[in-house]
Structure 1
Amino acid sequence: MLRSLYDWTMSLAGKGSSERWLAAIAFVESSIFLVPADVLFVPMALARRDRVWRYALIASVASVLGGIAGWLIGYYAFETVARPILEFYGKLDTFDHLSQSVDFSTIVLLLITSGFAHLPPIKVVTILSGVAHVNIWLFAISAALARGSRFMLLAWLLQRYGESVRDFVERRLTQLATAACMAAFFAFVAYRYIVH
């Protein structure tokens, strides 16, 4: 099923309505969809490098709005909507583990690691934020910074290096994700235990 979702998403990049599809996928990725918006964003940006910043802005705004939708699902409809979604994707155990010790600084760390390395999936973080009753405005600002930074960095890399960055990322995705998570973890530890 995952492969067919991926192939379908990739096929959207060549359509005239690709910007609307990018916004829709970035929105639903943050609350219910499994395939990340990157699989549409990257081919679109490579095909039209003159529009890469426009695409990054569309993906960022839609992703944050989708995150707010995920927050609302977690806050108001966990049992009826969120639990079945998490069970369907096999993420309920991850969610239950994370929900044991959640505060705002944990959510910020999860937004960063999810934004840059998809660990954990963004939908888990957004729903968890609502369940934990994290302040919606703080959540929205943090999500905008984390998700916006991710898409803007990807846009800059794609505009500057084009196809070669795609090859590099695909070959070294695990190492890059691990490095991003380690950096975020150490930044969190420094903030939590050294600054305070």
Structure 2
Amino acid sequence: MKIFGPLYERTLGWARHRNAPTLLTILSFAEAVIFPVPPEVMLAPMCLSRPRRGFWFATLSLVGSLLGAVVGYLLGHFAYELVKPLFEALGWIGKIEHQVAMLREIAAQSPWKVFWLLVIAGFTPIPLKFFTWASGIVGVPLLPFLASMFIGRGKRVFLVALAIRIGGARAEAALRRYIEPIGWAAMLLLVGALGWLIWHTQQGA
């Protein structure tokens, strides 16, 4: 089943728009709150078309993601019960409640485990909204939460910008060609990390 490839193709048109930097920031913000499209699929072609501004585009994406992470966190913390029926209708409730239960269990053992889990989550192509909402519901401390988002998401967007700056069209073509296996490999990495954290937590209980 292909997921990441079609999303990449869909956002190529957005990357060519004259207001692409604004759209990238909005996309990054929305992805951390409710939207399922990862911002890198727009960031990569933008960096290719204007490589000298690649790191600026990455900065805009990171700022949008951090602002969206704060909104998702606050919504999860203060408005979860109000929007719970909407999440049930969208089919997201199971994933969110799974993240909530996992974060609560890990947070009870060690705040640092939660921090590194969120760093890994920010680096993977899994939509950030599941983690921002879950963090707010659980009540993960806000400053460590933002630090984890900054590190995890910052690595993603700046590595994309750097790869395009060094590799040019060849790097973008490789991203387009391998976006599907890269996406699934990142998801498997996250699942493995989650499994290890849960196992380690249970061993220490």
TM-score range for the pair, normalised by the shorter chain length:
0.7 to 0.9
For the residues of structure 2 that align with 1:91 and 1:177, how far apart are their CA atoms? Answer: 20
Show the counterpart of 1:108. 115
**C-alpha RMSD over aligned residues:** 3.2
In the superposition, relative to structure 1, how do residues 169 and 4 fare at CA in structure 2: closer, same or farther (>3 Å)?
A: closer
Residue type of the alignment partner of 1:161: G
Give the structure 1 partner of residue 26 of structure 2: 24
Query: SS state of the match for residue 102, structure 2?
Result: coil
SS, match of residue 172 in structure 1: helix
User: Residue 71 and residue 158 in structure 1: after superposition, are their counterparts in 2 closer, same or farther (change >3 A)?
Assistant: same
| Shift of residue 179, structure 1, vs aligned partner | 6.8
Partner Cα distance (1:176, 1:164) in 2:
21
Q: Is the 8 A contact 2:70 2:132 kept in 1?
A: yes
TM-score (norm 1): 0.81
Greater relative contact order: 1 or 2 (C-alpha under 8 angstroms, separation 6 or more)? Answer: 2
Unaligned runs of 5+ in 2: none
The one-letter code sitting in structure 2 at the alignment partner of 1:138 is P
**Deviation at residue 176 of structure 1 after TM alignment:** 4.0
Alignment CA distance shift 1:153-1:84 (3 Å): farther
Q: Aligned partners of 1:158 and 1:183: how far apart in 2?
A: 29
The one-letter code sitting in structure 2 at the alignment partner of 1:16 is R
Q: Deviations over 1:54-113 (max 9, x none)?
A: 0000001110110010000001100223x2453354221111122223124454344333
Matches within 5 A, 1:147-166: 147-165=153-171, 166=175
User: Could you tell me how far 1:7 is from its partner in structure 2?
Assistant: 5.8
What SS is found at the alignment partner of 2:136? helix
Q: Take 1:39 and 1:88, find their aligned partners in 2: how far apart are those partners?
A: 27
Counterpart of 1:42 in structure 2 is 44
Displacement, 1:152? 0.9
How far residue 186 of structure 1 moved from its aligned partner, in angstroms, is 9.2
- 2:129 is the counterpart of 1:128: no
Give unpaired runs (5+ residues) of structure 1: none
State the identity %: 28
1:155-177 deviations in Å (ceiling 9; x for gaps): 11111112333245326324641
Summarize the Cα distance change of 1:67–1:174 in structure 2 as closer, same or farther, 3 Å threshold: closer
Q: Distance in 2 between matches of 1:164 and 1:85?
A: 42
**Aligned CA distance change for structure 1 residues 187 and 101 (closer, same or farther; 3 Å):** closer
Deviation at 1:148, TM superposition (A): 0.9
